[in-house]
Structures are given as structure tokens and as C-alpha cells.
Chain A
Amino acid sequence: MRFEFAMPSSLHKSGVLGMNKRNIDYIGRYNPRKFYKRVDDKLTTKQLAIANDIAVPALIGVVREQHEIEEIPAMVEGESGFVIKPSKGSGGKGILVITKVEGNRYFKPNGQEVTHSEIYRHVSNILSGLFSLGGAPDVGIVEGLIQFDPVFDGYSYEGVPDIRLIVYKGFPVMGMLRLSTAASDGKANLHQGAVGVGVDIGSGKGLHAVQFDTPVDLHPDTNKKLTDIQVPQWDFLLNTASKAYEMCEMGYLGTDMVLDKVKGPLLLELNARPGLAIQIANGRGILPYLNHVDSLGNHNMTVSERVEYAKKHFSHNAES
């Protein structure tokens, strides 16, 4: 690891947003506390999204009490796979993915079997609030498995690649594709070792890729060139993300979406504190885009007008 430091002035010149400025000037100012529940509670997000005609992964069931854990096998009968996640979890913690169901036996993506008592303990931990912020009691969500689109075959290792978009005041300003790796244990979280590929807002084409905050060219497990990626249904993704702004009224928002083979783009979750690594994946700072949106002032653009504006001005080819 190289221990080199950049000059603050050169980062500033590149428009890099730092953690403190993000917290104070963007999250603190544009994300009202009272709306956090819409984002932090995945069950609420899901219900809001359904009400706003935004497609989400199927909801199989909700576990609210200890005794309801016993009902999980009945809930998932007939499903080919399922996901159990804490409603208020953060950072991808506490998500259990079962990709194969054989009668009464469940298997993780890596083929390992998960026993019933392990599932019981996991859900019990979820309900006790082990994964939620501040240890508040939580509920467990059982979701249908996403049949992920084969377009990313070879780009992702044992996991669902997801598309993160930063939506500022309703404008998608930066995009990133997150690909799981062996190091990330099939999870799409960058700090766990997933690969982030910066995606051009204008076209949905791959730009740069990083793993562990260091630039990479090839996927570490499949050796496919990452910058060749073209995200399909890009406009649809941009529109969905943009719509999420009206839905949760958060000014500085991260949207996580996946591509389902059958259902198309699905909104996975929203994030009121989206990470800063997206800048490294894009090879550029986010501040110029945020300032551009601020300079628009009051406008009455619709969702599709905002997406068109973003595609025109926030593309890497357009020198905005």
C-alpha cells in the first residue's frame, strides 16, 4: 500500500467531496431528519415505492415476532431462493441470501448449506436489533430472489451486481456499478471488497473501476475488462432514481437498483448517507455537478426533463 497524500488544494481543484463537507453541507442541509424513516427502514421504502409505481423485489413476508420465525419455511415454500434482510440494517449487514432451495434445505450462493437453526438465530439477531443503527429492535424482511440479468455475466462473482446512482435534488449526477467479488463474499459493498465501476450518466457506459479504493482494469475473479460494460435500460434506471427524489424528499440520496431478468430494473434500497467511493470509481469529484444543480435554483422540471438535463450536462463527454 502506498502512503502518499494528496494536497488538499489539488483535491479541491478536482471537485472532490470529503466526508465532513458531505455530512454538513449536503446530508445535514438537504436530508430532513423526519424523512429518514422512509430511507432507513427498508420495509417503509418498499411500501412507498409500490405506492409510487416503482418496481421493487417481491415481498414474500415480514417477520415481526420471535414466534413468526418458525413460519419462514412455510413462507418460502415453492420459491427457488430468497433473501432475509433486516429492515433497518446498514452497510449491507445482516443480509442472508439463499440461492437454492431443495425441499427443506437451503444453500448460500457459495453452495454452503444453511441449517434451520442458523436461520432461526440469524432472524432472531435481526429482531433483537443487532444489525440496526443503535441496536433498536427491528423486523426481518423476506424477499424474493432477484433473477439477475445475464448481461453482467462474467462481471460479477456470486452475487447481484447493483447500480448506485447519486441523486441530488432529483438530478442523477453520478453513477456506479457495484460488482461482487470473491473477496466481498458475494456482497456488493465496496468496503467489503466489491468492485466499483464508474458509469457515465449520459450513456451508461463503464468509465473507471476501483477495488479497495485503488483503480483496477480487470475483474479480479473473472478477468473481464471492466470498462467495456454497458448498463442496459439506462434511461429507465435514471428515471426510477430521479422519481425516488419525489418519493422520499431527500435532497442528497443514493439509490441502489438491480436488473432483474424478468421484471427489469428494481429499486433495492435507498441510502441517505451514500458513500464517497463513487468519486474514485468515476475518476472525478462530484462537487462540480452538485454546484451545477445548485446553480439552477428554483425550477419546475419534471422527472423526465431532469433526466434529459442530467444526460446532457452531467455526461463525462459534456464539459459542463
Chain B
Amino acid sequence: MHSKKPFYILVALLFISGIAASVFRGIEHNVPFLPGKQVQSWAVDAKVSFQGIGEPAEVSFSLPNDPAFEVLVENASSPGYGLTISQDNQDQERRALWSVRSATGMQNLYYKVTLIPTGTTQVIAKQEPVAPKDFIWPATEKDAAEQVISKVWAKSATNLSFAQQLNKALNAAERTQNVELLLSSNTPTKLFLHMLHSKGVPAQEVSGLYLEDQRRRQQLSSFVEVYNDGEWVLFDPSNGTQGRKDNLLLWDRSGKSTLDVTGGVNSQVNFSMLQDTRSALATSLDVMKNQGALDFSLYQLPLEEQSLFKGILLIPIGVLMVVFLRVIVGLKTSGTFMPVLIALAFIQTTLLTGLIGFILIVACGLMIRSYLSQLNLLLISRISAVIIVVIGIIGIFTLLSYKFGLSEGLTITFFPMIILAWTIERMSILWEEEGPKEVLLQGGGSLFVATLAYLAMSATWVQHWVFNFLGIHLVILAIVLLMGQYTGYRLLELRRFKPLAGDK
């Protein structure tokens, strides 16, 4: 007897890789594990306005660049303007550049973006920032600044704790005179930044937007990011807090100005935003499309082939059901996989219409077949005649149900004709040989299995899984292989062999 080890290793490999592929897809690509799941999204509109002075105008506007939010869709509407979106790979800066030959009067430019929270609030530094240049303090502030810095410096150990202590000192309830003096001529953000820079701590000013549902005419707020151990930590020197809130969108991390307008005056930018929920699946698909990660997905197929595959990929579920019912339960079906094909047709027709339609067609077919059996035809021509008759029956039923306004009846065309013809032929022989009881028994059994397979295949989460997590098919393959090695009793054998159980 050969070893079964390679077999079990194969099954385990299939199983593990199937599960792993599915989990990877769920976590890495955010494909939801349950259908119908919703995610929040934010629609943010930025309105840039300025007064044109009749000269060529150029508007450079920084665009959101935040690992905590994924850009799903963005577009800019700006009639009459040329638009380029530039991306600077080095510091990950993205800017929109509008330009027009001549701008006069009030000009409005719009930028719309849909954002999805990703859940990663950490900002990892791509590379070690260069040490900042020493800040030269004005003579009036020099002493005050140096005193404050040296005092805080003494109380700190690292860049991070220095920034924390500094933030605290700037926002203390009882601020020292030195701090008051400095704040009278500086914004807290600038002061905080300059103090960090004068100790050589890498820090940069960033602007962010608080996302709140249905807000209009919002402005960006300033924050400072301090570099610490490979990560940028966010500080808000205006209120002394550290870290970021979930609803804060970092709009501009370049440290440069958010909006630059040449050829215009009185420029300003306003933000309005709206919260929205959308399908998690559609969202993750859009994200994958943006990232070009759809390479190994059925979603890159044309729609027609996609819907074809949605049906095809259900077959493994039906087949699994049949294998289970035959090997583990011990049910008999007429024609091994005939129930699966019937179940596939049920998906199109819905269960009740499908059952009624199937029984009607087979019953009519049996009646006509009983006439054919008197004609002493060869098997091939008899089956062919039955196929043609089945097509006729389907045609008549479809027409009748259309005339009577029963739209359900129209789906009857989804039944596989060849399978129906063979079913009729088998049933008819069965009827002649074993009587109508056996026909009802086997036909009923097949319909029962078909119904079970239909129920398994029509569950929305099953349809969601087989199409979105292709790894699941490896798991099904592993289970089918395992069941092929099952040597235990079938469920119905436990009843059949009950007299042998040796009641003790």
C-alpha cells in the first residue's frame, strides 16, 4: 500500500493556500468578507477663488496626500483653464496647476475628491529628513527664545520629549513672560517650529482639514510634524495637543504654501464636505483599479464574461453539495451532476417557478415520449425527437405565459434542453421497468438534491465569496479530494445496517 502522506500534504497545501489567498484579498485589498458591507467615504470640495487682473494667471494648489485617506476619485472643474496634476515623487507632493492666458474679475476653480479612511494614522517617513537650518532669531526675541529653549531642553531626553515639553510650555496655563513675549509677535505654530529648528530637530509645518459632515466654508488648520524614529508625529501648538484625530485629513505636507496664485489678487480657498456611505466592495474595486492591483481579478474581464463567470464559479459549490450528499449522506441522484445543472437553471428562474416549470416540462415530455416508445425508434433518433419536443414545449410554455402576462414563465428557457431530454428518456425507461413509484422516488430525489444545491448556490454570501475570493475554490478542491478518501459509513447506511448493529 502506497503512502498517503503526499496526498495529505497536497490537500493541506491546497487548503492553506486557498485560505491564505482569501485572507490576503480580504485584508490587503479590503475586499469585504460579507456582501452588502458599507464603508464611509468623504466627498470634499475645495473652491479656489481669486480676483483676476487681466493678466495671464497661474494657480498652484496642493492636493491631499495622507496615508490615512485613500483618494478614490478626484476631478477638477475649471472652465477655460488648462489643468495639470503634477506629482513630485521625492517628497510625495501633489499639486494641481491651473493656467489661463487672461483672467479678469472673480475667478472660481473647483477641485473635488472622494476619500476613504484607510485606518493607518501613522505617517512613516520614506527617508531620513535632512537636519534643518539653524533659525536666526530677531535681536528682540533672541534672549527670550534661548532661555525658553535651554530650559525645556534640560527637561527633555529625545527629540520627541523635547517637542512634547515645548508644546506644553507654549500652552501652559501660567505662561512665562518670555513665552508671552514671543507669542505676541509669532503664531504658536511658527514659534514651535522655529524653536525645534534651532535645536536641529527635523520638523515641518503641515496643514490639515477637520472632516465634519455637511460643513461649508471651512479653512485649513496648521500643525507641526516632528520627526522621531522613522515617523512623523503630529503636534498642534495652538492648543498643546499631540497626535491626530481620526477625522483630520492632512491636506498638504510639503511645508510650502498650499495655494500660490500669480496674476491674481485676493486669492483664498474654501472647503466644503459631505459624508457618504457606499458599498465596501465597489470601493475596494475602485481602489484596486487606481493602484493597478486588479491584475489577477475577474473584474478586469468585460462585463459579459464577468456575469458568465459568476455562474460558472457557482458550479464548484453545487458539485461540492452533490459529492457531500452522495458520499457522506448516501443519497442517490439520477444522473451524477444533473441536479447541479438543474440548480443552475433555478438560479435564473427562482426556485418555485423552476420547480413548477421542470415538473411541467418533464410531465409533458413523458406523455409525448410514451407515444414515441410505441414507434420502435432507434435510441438516437428517439432522444433527438425528445429534444425537439422539449424545445417545442418550452416554446409553447414561454408563449403562453407571455400571453397571460406571467413574466416568471419566460425564464423557463434557461433549462438545459439536452439534460431535460435525457431526464425524460431515463424516467420513461424507469417507468416502464420499475413503475411510476420509482420515477417519483428518483425524480423527487434529484429535485431534492437540486433544491439543496440551489439553496447553497443562491445564498448571497456564497455568490460573493466564490467570485471575490478565488482562493475558496482551492479549499473546495481540497475538501472534494478529502471526501474522495472517506471510507466511513454514509449517513443512510447507519439506518440501512441498523439490524446489524448488534443491540447490546
Which A residues have a C-beta under 8 Å from some C-beta of B?
Answer: 2-8, 10-14, 16, 18-21, 24-25, 29, 66, 93, 117, 120-121, 124-125, 128-130, 192, 210, 213-215, 276, 279-280, 283-285
Number of residues in B with C-beta < 8 Å to the partner?
29
Instruction: State which of B379, B433, B489, B500 has its C-beta within 8 Å of the C-beta of A124.
Output: B379
The CA of A5 and the CA of B494, in the complex, are separated in Å by 5
B378 and A215 form a contact (CB under 8 A): no
Distance between B271 CB and nearest chain A CB, rounded to angstroms: 68
A20 and B500 form a contact (CB under 8 A): no
0/1 string, B259-287, CB within 8 A of A gives 1: 00000000000000000000000000000
Q: A10-B502, A124-B379 are in contact. Are A20 and B490 (CB under 8 A)?
A: yes
The CA of A215 and the CA of B501, in the complex, are separated in Å by 13
For B491, list chain A residues within 8 Å (CB): 5
A20 and B502 form a contact (CB under 8 A): no
A6 and B495 form a contact (CB under 8 A): yes
* Closest B residue to A208 using CB positions: B499
B487 and A18 form a contact (CB under 8 A): yes
A66 and B500 form a contact (CB under 8 A): no
B489 and A8 form a contact (CB under 8 A): yes
Which residues of chain B (440-472) have a CB below 8 Å from chain A?
A: none
Q: A18-B493, A121-B376 are in contact. Are A4 and B498 (CB under 8 A)?
A: yes
* Closest A residue to B330 using CB positions: A19
For B504, list chain A residues within 8 Å (CB): 10
A130 and B429 form a contact (CB under 8 A): yes
A11 and B497 form a contact (CB under 8 A): yes
For A215, list chain B residues within 8 Å (CB): 499
Q: A7-B501, A279-B500 are in contact. Are A130 and B379 (CB under 8 A)?
A: yes
Q: Does B380 contact A (CB under 8 A)?
A: yes
B501 and A20 form a contact (CB under 8 A): no
A18 and B488 form a contact (CB under 8 A): yes
B487 and A280 form a contact (CB under 8 A): no
For A29, list chain B residues within 8 Å (CB): 1
* Closest A residue to B484 using CB positions: A24
* Closest A residue to B483 using CB positions: A20
Q: Does B195 contact A (CB under 8 A)?
A: no
Between A and B, 6 residue pairs with Cβ closer than 8 Å are A3-B495, A6-B500, A18-B490, A20-B487, A25-B487, A280-B499
B495 and A283 form a contact (CB under 8 A): no
B379 and A128 form a contact (CB under 8 A): yes
Which residues of chain B (404-435) have a CB below 8 Å from chain A?
A: 429, 433-434
Which residues of chain B (358-416) have a CB below 8 Å from chain A?
A: 373, 376, 378-380
Distance between B382 CB and nearest chain A CB, rounded to angstroms: 8
Q: Does B245 contact A (CB under 8 A)?
A: no
Instruction: State which of A14, A25, A213, A214 has its C-beta within 8 Å of the C-beta of B502.
Output: A14
Distance between B380 CB and nearest chain A CB, rounded to angstroms: 7
Q: A128-B380, A129-B379, A192-B434 are in contact. Are A21 and B500 (CB under 8 A)?
A: no
For A24, list chain B residues within 8 Å (CB): 485, 487
Instruction: State which of A2, A11, A13 has its C-beta within 8 Å of the C-beta of B494.
Output: A11
- 10 A-B pairs besides A6-B494, A8-B488 with CB distance below 8 A are A5-B494, A7-B501, A8-B494, A11-B497, A18-B488, A19-B490, A20-B488, A117-B376, A124-B378, A210-B499
For A128, list chain B residues within 8 Å (CB): 378-380
For B486, list chain A residues within 8 Å (CB): 20
For B495, list chain A residues within 8 Å (CB): 3-6
* Closest A residue to B491 using CB positions: A5
Q: Does B327 contact A (CB under 8 A)?
A: yes
The CA of A14 and the CA of B429, in the complex, are separated in Å by 39
Distance between B203 CB and nearest chain A CB, rounded to angstroms: 71
A14 and B501 form a contact (CB under 8 A): yes
Q: Which of B379, B434, B500 has the most CB atoms of chain A within a 10 A radius of its CB?
A: B500
For B500, list chain A residues within 8 Å (CB): 6, 11, 14, 16, 279-280, 283-285
* Closest A residue to B438 using CB positions: A192
Q: Does B496 contact A (CB under 8 A)?
A: yes
* Closest B residue to A94 using CB positions: B433
For B485, list chain A residues within 8 Å (CB): 24
For B433, list chain A residues within 8 Å (CB): 93
* Closest A residue to B422 using CB positions: A135
Distance between A126 CB and nearest chain B CB, rounded to angstroms: 10
For A19, list chain B residues within 8 Å (CB): 330, 490, 493
The CA of A20 and the CA of B491, in the complex, are separated in Å by 11
Q: A124-B376, A130-B429 are in contact. Are A5 and B498 (CB under 8 A)?
A: yes
A6 and B376 form a contact (CB under 8 A): no
The CA of A210 and the CA of B485, in the complex, are separated in Å by 31
Instruction: State which of A3, A21, A93, A279 has its C-beta within 8 Å of the C-beta of B497.
Output: A279
The CA of A276 and the CA of B494, in the complex, are separated in Å by 13
B497 and A125 form a contact (CB under 8 A): no
For A21, list chain B residues within 8 Å (CB): 487-488
For A10, list chain B residues within 8 Å (CB): 501-502, 504
